[in-house]
Structure formats: C-alpha cells, structure tokens
C-alpha cells in the first residue's frame, strides 16, 4: 500500500515538474524578455534572415509551447487519476511489463522542450546569416574545462562510469558470453558519455550559437552546459547502478518509482541547472541595441 | 586582452593577429608564460579560418614570441618582449635592398635580377 501511495505521489510530481513547473518558468522568462527588450530598442535580438516578423513568430511559438505542455499535463493527470481509480499499482506495471510507458510518457513530456530547443538553434542560425560584422573581436584567454567545473566532479563522473561498468558486467545476468542487450547497454552508455565529451569540447572551443552574445554571457552559458553534462553523466551512472542493484536484490517493485524519480532529477539537473546558471538579470542585453559596439 | 580584426582591411588577417599579439606583449598586457587560446578557439571566436590563425601562430612561434608546449597548449615565450621588437619583415627589406644595390652597382639589369630572384625562389628546396 505504502509503495502505491509513494508511486502515485512521485508520478504526480513528475507530471507537475516536467509539464507544468519548468515549462511555466521557461514561458515566464521568454515573456519577460519579449516585454522588457522590445523590437524597437533591441533590434539585434530579433534580427533574423528567415522570418518576416520575428517577434510575432516567437510569440506564436511560445503560445504553442504553453498549449502543448498544458495538454500533456492534462493527459498526465488524467492517466494518474485513472490509475488510482482502477487501482493500477507498480506491481501491475511490472507484471504487465509496462515500464516502457513511463519512458514514453517522459519523452512526450520533454517533446515541447526539445522542439523549442531545436527552434532556438535554427533561430540562431538565421541570426548568424543576417550579416557578419567587419570588425570582430576575441579574448586572448584560453577556455579550459576546469575553469568552469571542479575537477572533483569530472573525476567522479569517470569513476562512476567505471564502477557502473564493472558492477553491470559482474552481474550473473551478464555473464560471458554477453547477450545482445548487454552489449547494446554498454555501447549506448559509452556513446552517450562520448557525446557529452564532444558537446563540452564544442561549447568550450567551438563557434558560439548566438553571434551577438556578450563574452560574459558566453562564459555563463558554457558553465551551465558543462555542469549539465557532467551531472548528467554522474546521474546516469548512479541511476543505472541503482537499477542493477534493484534487479539483483529482488526489489523490482520499486523500479517504477525509481525511474520516475530519475526523470525528475534529470529535469532538475538539466533544465533547472541551465536556468539557474543563466539568470536573465545577469545577462547583457545592451549587445542587441542598434548602436552596440564589439562584443 | 582583446584582439580585434577587420576583415575588410588590406592587411592580411594573419598579419593583423601577429601585430596585435606583439603589441600586447610589448605593452605588457600579455606577460611571459601567459597561456594563449587554442587555434580552434581563436578562429571560432573571430569567425575566421583555422588555417589563418595557425599561420599567425606559426609566425609568432618562428619569431619566438610564443611557444607550444605539446598538449599543455601555447604560451607567451619567456623572451617575447625582446623578440617582439624585432621586425623581421623590415630586416628582410633592408638586406634585399642592400643586395640589389650591389648588383646595380656592377651594372646587372633589373630584369636579370628579377629572373635570378625568381629562379632562386623556385629552387629554394
């Protein structure tokens, strides 16, 4: 009974955190920027080679984003209510192998955020096309990983990946010869970690997405991204170690609760961390003014 | 220390980079041992080709203004301040003018000098 209440509470928290709290925070940030930094005073913020009326376009996308999250939140609450009414408990999830539904629901919840991020990426691409400045500047200071995060976290991420790998492969289920799903899990985890390394390197040394972004803001963004990826790697390893332990010691009943909690931690350490790192009040919006100098 | 390049300037970008790094060293803004950004970072920040920055770094290394320490990165050379004052281009111009004057003094024609110069340049290896 206790596990059922715990599961319903954790699932409710997932619906509210992923589909209501963070999307609402994101919308408030965007609305604040659109209201305070208008197209007339900050033309470079809206500069775009593709859209005829970028400001209106962005407002439309924001409305669609809010609507999509509202619908998903409503669906989530509906499903949760149906589960409570029909007494659908974590043991049923395990018996009927419905764990994948939890994953699909989380993916559905993150879909609006992913689409918004892709739109932002495209937006910056069009922004870069609107004219490259003749005068360009750069700081003669190297950007290094440990300027943005303590080495302890990096070492921890590496150690935890190795611990997970050792623990996972030492499990009786994964004895030699390895099954295909064991190989796929190892490949996926390793590839994800390699992707994190590639992304961090890209943000440290690669081109900045937003051509007008102030150097201070660029550093703030890099710090946020570095922290998100390192924390994601740590979180992923810890979760998988916990999942393996749960399976090994016959605590399968807790698996739905742990998975839902994991998704929420991903959101808090991902989107939440980015919002905490890149505070609007600390950003330099003067670079978007018509007469702004070199950034 | 901030570096500024003008892509419309007649002066090649790598020359602008070399001149500004030397100026920063001479003015004391960049001190011996200070770390330099990687070629990739500087090229991306300035939105110019990696090869342009690599060429500037090669010239600065030749002039012993910077030094590369393997994987640790690129740093300002301990003798950078003294070496930044040396203008290798001006020295080449001076030496070449002296040589050409010597040829002219013994009635070697300009076209003969040009042909010989071109021949020497083509067979430099």
Together in a domain, B78 and B92: no
The CA distances from residue A64 to A59, A74, A119, A245, A271, in Å, are 9, 15, 12, 41, 19
Range of weakest confidence among A107-116, A235-244, A259-268, A283-292: A283-292
Together in a domain, B58 and B107: no
Residue of A nearest to B20 (CA): A140
Together in a domain, B31 and B78: yes
The pLDDT-based confidence of B124 (bands split at 50, 70, 90) is low
pLDDT reported for residue B40: 93
Mean pLDDT, rounded, of chain A: 86
Q: Domain span at residue A98?
A: 2-131+145-288
Across the interface, whether the CB atoms of A138 and B24 are under 8 A apart is answered no
Range of weakest confidence among A136-150, A233-247, B28-42, B93-107: A233-247
A113 occurs within a structural domain: yes
Instruction: Tell me what the mean pLDDT of segment B92-114 comes to.
Output: 93
Tokens 């003094």 identify what position? B105
Together in a domain, B41 and B96: no
pLDDT exceeds cutoff 60 at B125:
no
From A14, A88, A4, select the one nearest A260 (Cα to Cα): A14
What tens digit of pLDDT does each residue of A50-67 get? 777 877 888 888 999 999
pLDDT reported for residue A16: 94
Chain A residues bordering chain B (beta-carbon distance below 8 Å): 132, 134-143, 204-208, 294
Together in a domain, B17 and B38: yes
Across the interface, whether the CB atoms of B42 and A132 are under 8 A apart is answered no
Q: Domain span at residue B108?
A: 88-122
pLDDT reported for residue A273: 82
Question: What is the distance between the alpha carbons of residues A253 and A260, in angstroms, rounded to a whole number?
Answer: 13
Question: What is the distance between the alpha carbons of residues A108 and A148, in angstroms, rounded to a whole number?
Answer: 32
User: Is this complex scored with an ipTM above 0.90?
Assistant: no
pLDDT reported for residue B37: 94
Q: Which residues of A touch B2 (CB under 8 A)?
A: 137-140, 294
Domains identified in chain B, total number: 2
B67 occurs within a structural domain: yes
B76 occurs within a structural domain: yes
Domains identified in chain A, total number: 1
Residue of A nearest to B76 (CA): A140
The CA distances from residue A131 to A44, A137, A214, B4, in Å, are 11, 16, 17, 18
Which of B5, B21, B35 comes nearest A136 by C-beta? B5
Say what percent of chain A tops pLDDT 70. 97
A56 occurs within a structural domain: yes
Partner A contacted by B72 (CB < 8 A): no
Across the interface, whether the CB atoms of B2 and A136 are under 8 A apart is answered no
Closest CA–CA distance from residue B58 to any residue of chain A (Å): 16
Residue of B nearest to A214 (CA): B45
User: Burial level of B102, CB count in 10 A (0-12/13-18/19+)?
Assistant: exposed
Who has greater pLDDT, A214 or A294? Answer: A214
A141 Cβ contact list (under 8 Å, min separation 6): B1, B35, B37
Question: Any idea what the CATH number is for the domain that residue B69 is in?
Answer: 1.10.10.10
Q: Which residues of B touch A294 (CB under 8 A)?
A: 2, 4
Orientation of helix A151-170 relative to helix A180-205, angle to 10°: 170
Give the A:B interface size as CB pairs under 8 Å. 64
A137 occurs within a structural domain: no
What tens digit of pLDDT does each residue of A13-53 get? 999 999 999 999 999 998 888 888 888 888 888 877 677 78
Across the interface, whether the CB atoms of A138 and B40 are under 8 A apart is answered no
Across the interface, whether the CB atoms of A137 and B2 are under 8 A apart is answered yes
Give chain B's largest Cα–Cα span: 55
């Amino acid at each position: 009974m206790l596990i059922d209440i715990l599961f319903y509470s954790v699932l409710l928290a997932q619906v509210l955190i992923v589909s209501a709290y963070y999307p609402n925070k994101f919308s408030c940030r965007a609305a604040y920027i659109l209201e305070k930094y208008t197209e007339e005073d900050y033309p470079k913020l809206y500069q775009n080679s593709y859209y005829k009326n970028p400001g209106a376009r962005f407002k439309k996308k924001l409305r669609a984003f809010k609507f999509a999250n509202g619908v998903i939140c409503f669906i989530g609450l509906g499903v949760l209510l149906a589960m409570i009414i029909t007494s659908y408990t974590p043991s049923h999830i395990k018996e009927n192998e419905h764990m994948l539904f939890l994953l699909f629901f989380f993916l559905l919840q993150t879909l609006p955020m992913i689409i918004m991020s892709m739109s932002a990426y495209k937006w910056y691409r069009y922004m870069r096309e609107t004219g490259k400045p003749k005068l360009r500047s750069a700081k003669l200071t190297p950007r290094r990983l440990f300027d943005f995060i303590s080495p302890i976290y990096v070492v921890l991420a590496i150690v935890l990946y190795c611990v997970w790998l050792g623990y996972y492969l030492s499990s009786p289920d994964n004895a030699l010869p390895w099954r295909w799903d064991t190989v796929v899990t190892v490949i996926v985890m390793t590839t994800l970690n390699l992707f994190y390394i590639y992304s961090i390197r890209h943000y440290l040394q690669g081109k900045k997405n937003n051509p007008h972004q102030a150097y201070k803001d660029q550093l703030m963004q890099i710090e946020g991204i570095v922290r998100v990826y390192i924390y994601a790697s740590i979180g992923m390893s810890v979760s998988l170690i916990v999942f393996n332990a749960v399976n090994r010691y016959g605590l399968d009943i807790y698996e739905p609760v742990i998975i839902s909690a994991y998704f929420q931690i991903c959101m808090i350490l991902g989107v939440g961390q980015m919002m905490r790192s890149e505070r609007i009040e600390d950003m330099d919006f003067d670079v978007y003014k018509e007469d702004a100098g070199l950034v | 220390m901030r570096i500024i390049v003008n892509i419309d300037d007649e002066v090649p970008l790598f020359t602008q980079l070399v001149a500004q790094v030397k100026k920063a060293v001479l003015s004391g803004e960049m001190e011996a041992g200070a770390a330099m950004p990687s070629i990739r970072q500087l090229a991306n920040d300035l939105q110019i080709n990696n090869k342009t920055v690599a060429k500037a770094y090669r010239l600065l290394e030749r002039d012993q203004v910077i030094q590369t320490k393997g994987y640790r990165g690129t740093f300002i050379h301990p003798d950078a301040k003294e070496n930044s004052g040396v203008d290798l281009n001006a020295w080449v111009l001076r030496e070449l003018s002296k040589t050409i004057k010597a040829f002219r003094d013994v009635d070697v024609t300009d076209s003969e000098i040009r042909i010989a110069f071109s021949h020497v340049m083509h067979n430099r290896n």
